[in-house]
Amino acid sequence: MSITLLMSRRILKRGLTGTLALLVGLFLFEFVQPLVANSVGGGRGIANLVESLPPAFQAILRTQPEFMAVSGLAGYLSIGFSHPLFFVLTSAILAALICRSIAGEYESGTMQLALSRSISRGSVYVSRLIAILLVIVVAVAVTIAGMVTGIQVGRPEGSFDYAHLLPTAFVTFLLLFAIAGVALLLSALADTTSQAIGWTTGFVVVSFVIDYLSGLWSAIEPFGPISIYHYFDPATSLILGDVSSRDAVVLFAVGVIAGAAGYAVFRNRDLPS
């Protein structure tokens, strides 16, 4: 096994307990979505429930009662991908892994020790990237598995096309890939774990708030495209099985550009003493 893969395995093992705990939370969150759909009376009950919410809460859920009434079960289940708790859980998984494996190792001196043993900075960075991509794939798989298990157990009313889970998984992967790229850049710039997590959390929160306010406040609407969540539309994927080419390209480009910028910073910066 190459040194790069050995480093990837070490990174995954170090954060295994915390990552597993967050993945369990992600599975359970998606699992209960179909169960809740039945408890509120199916598609019509869901539409009535959403209609009773203030506009601000509808914006947080990124949905409208008319949309729920037309889209039925698939429309409701798409909330499982756009709910703030989903964003919190997935962002926490990525931030903990990335910030600990780069900025955290700056802080502890582990990075300096590794680089003193003739291991190239490129190998170190690629090992982190491999671990991150694996975790993203697992997180998406757990999300889908939780929803499918919930549907099988709860048997909610309404039609649902399981084939649409594939494009939904794809666009979810792209969102997490974009967040991971930005987190890599911010972690490469930071000197400590707390600093890197703070910057990454700030990016996620600001991006979410911009997307949220752009749906409520006309003055903020022009700034909506600044947010990465502006390009994440799981409802269309889950209901129609479509993925916007523009959205896919933007999310992929953000991940690649930010990740490449992170490598440039990591390769050229002086390590903390």
Residues in the chain with pLDDT < 50? 60, 65-66, 69-70
Answer for the pair 215, 59: CB distance below 8 angstroms, yes or no.
Answer: yes
Burial 158-173 (b: 16+ CB within 10 A, else e): bebeeebbebbbebbb
* Helix, strand and coil percent figures for the chain, each rounded to 5: 85, 0, 15
pLDDT at residue 65, as a whole number: 47
Assign 201 to helix, strand or coil.
helix
Tokens of 18: 């915390």
pLDDT at residue 105, as a whole number: 84
DSSP code, position 162:
G
Cβ-based burial of 152 (10 A; exposed 0-12, middle 13-18, buried ≥19): exposed
Residue 130 to residue 143: CA distance in whole angstroms: 20
pLDDT at residue 272, as a whole number: 64
pLDDT at residue 212, as a whole number: 82
In angstroms, the first-to-last Cα distance of the chain is 31
Q: How far are the Cα atoms of 9, 92, 93, 129, 174 from residue 134, in angstroms, in the given order?
A: 11, 15, 12, 9, 13
